[in-house]
């Protein structure tokens, strides 16, 4: 379809594909808001995993959630085939006229093609290096292992491609390069994180139980999916002890899979509360919205805190804060400069430098950043 016709067309059934992870989905919220303004009467659906749908499914701009349950699909090959077939049939029968795949991998390309939509939009193929002469020259591993375009042949599934003129841009701004293709507004990124009343009430009850309902408190999230993104337990514990020493409460948060790390921090920081495994995403959002501060690694909790417009401090090592850091908050990042970073290695055994990018970040560096961030927050609210 001619680009000018594409910008003028009024699509009626739109599918957004970005099923996971939490941070990536948060990055996509500004696209959803712009799509709803551009197509106020359209059906706008989103392919999401059930855990993330528990939060995003409440968004007022969203019509429906299409569930992509990777766990259920992986349990048994017969269940996998049956579940996948049911999902693909559902996508085909809905007769979407516009599909936007911001995930850009083989599995999302399969879902895109299954819709038979006449307009299918996604990113260009990867380019392993700076795209513009003005871009920074990172270590080769960053371009090899980090996100530089649609992967695994996914670009072949699209009728139209989102251009990637530069590589030195945050993921949110990269997603918004979709705007000129569809005639979306060019205003700044907007985030709306809907929190259902039940989640608010649950957190209110939990905080009251531990005496934090009227006390200032910080949330510390020491876990994240990649082992290489983990800052050391001792550092998180030292930061928790510092925050306790300022009279604040400290709450450890994370998924059930992150309980071991949270418990290890709690063992070294007497008096902190461990809420790991006790909250859904919506309940975590309610907790973060009440908190004075969140301290974490590069994680979904970091992006959720930013979307809620709350102060955050994040330790970075193997990933690039310009690409996927706390959006619009470079002052919230703690990093030790290393020639080998960002490398985008996911597993510790792949690192030949003994995890130096995270190991060498000291608690003092993080505490100094906390003090700057909180001082700035107080100035803004004064």
CATH topology of domain 3-182: Rossmann fold (3.40.50)
Q: Does this model's pTM top 0.85?
A: yes
Q: Could you write out the DSSP letters of every residue in 118-141?
A: SEEEEEPPP-SS-SSTTS----HH
- pLDDT tens string, the chain, 382 residues long: the values are 677 789 989 999 999 999 988 999 999 999 999 999 999 999 999 999 999 999 999 999 999 999 987 665 555 656 666 778 888 999 999 999 999 999 999 999 999 999 999 999 999 999 889 999 889 999 999 999 999 999 999 999 999 999 999 999 999 999 999 999 999 999 999 999 999 999 999 999 999 999 998 899 999 999 999 999 999 999 999 999 999 999 999 999 999 999 999 999 999 999 999 999 999 999 999 999 999 999 999 999 999 999 999 999 999 999 999 999 999 999 999 999 999 999 999 999 999 999 999 999 999 999 999 999 999 999 888 7
pLDDT tens-digit series, residues 257-287: 999 999 999 999 999 999 999 999 999 999 9
Average pLDDT over the chain reads 94
Nearest to 51 by CA among 70, 29, 64, 32: 70
Q: Would the CATH topology of 3-182 be identical to that of 198-381? A: yes
| Helix, coil or strand: residue 18 | coil
- Backbone φ/ψ region at 121: left (φ over 0), alpha (ψ -120 to 50), beta: beta
List, in sequence order, every residue forming a beta bridge with 294; answer none if it has no partner.
219, 312
pLDDT tens-digit series, residues 307-352: 999 999 999 999 999 999 999 999 999 999 999 999 999 999 999 9
Indicate the domain borders of the chain: 3-182, 198-381
CATH number of 198-381: 3.40.50.2000
DSSP state letter for 227: G
Report yes or no: 153 and 190 within 8 Å, Cβ to Cβ.
Answer: no
């Amino acid at each position: 379809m001619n680009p000018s016709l594409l910008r003028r067309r009024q699509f009626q059934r739109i599918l957004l594909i970005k099923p996971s992870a939490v941070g990536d989905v948060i990055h996509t919220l500004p696209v959803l808001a712009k799509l709803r303004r551009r197509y106020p009467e359209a059906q706008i659906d989103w392919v999401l995993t059930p855990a993330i749908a528990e939060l995003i499914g409440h968004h007022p701009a969203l019509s429906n959630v299409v569930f992509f349950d990777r766990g259920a699909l992986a349990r048994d090959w017969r269940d996998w085939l049956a579940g996948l077939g049911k999902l693909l049939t559902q996508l085909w029968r809905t007769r979407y006229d516009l599909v936007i795949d911001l995930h850009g991998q083989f599995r999302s390309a399969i879902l895109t093609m299954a819709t038979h939509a006449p307009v299918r939009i996604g990113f260009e193929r990867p380019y392993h290096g700076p795209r513009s002469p003005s871009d920074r020259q990172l270590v080769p591993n960053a371009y090899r292992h980090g996100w530089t375009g649609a992967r695994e042949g996914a670009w072949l599934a699209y009728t139209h491609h989102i251009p990637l003129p530069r590589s030195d841009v945050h993921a949110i701004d990269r997603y918004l390069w979709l705007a000129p293709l569809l005639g979306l507004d060019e205003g700044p990124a907007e985030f709306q994180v809907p929190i259902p009343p039940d989640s608010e009430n649950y957190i209110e009850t939990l905080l009251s139980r531990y005496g934090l309902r009227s006390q200032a408190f910080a949330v510390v999230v020491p876990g994240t999916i990649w082992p290489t993104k983990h800052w050391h337990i001792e550092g998180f514990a030292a930061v928790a002890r510092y925050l306790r020493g300022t009279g604040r409460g400290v709450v450890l948060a994370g998924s059930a899979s992150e309980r071991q790390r949270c418990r290890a921090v709690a063992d070294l920081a007497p008096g902190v509360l461990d809420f790991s495994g006790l909250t859904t995403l919506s309940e975590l959002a309610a907790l973060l919205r009440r908190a004075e501060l969140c301290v974490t690694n590069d994680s979904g909790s970091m992006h959720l805190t930013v979307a809620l417009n709350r102060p955050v401090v994040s330790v970075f090592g193997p990933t690039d804060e310009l690409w996927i850091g706390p959006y619009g908050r470079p002052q919230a990042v703690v990093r030790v400069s290393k020639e080998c970073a960002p490398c985008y290695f996911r597993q510790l055994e792949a690192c030949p430098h003994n995890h130096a990018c995270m190991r060498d970040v000291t608690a003092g560096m993080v505490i100094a950043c906390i003090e700057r961030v909180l001082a700035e927050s107080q100035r803004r609210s004064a």
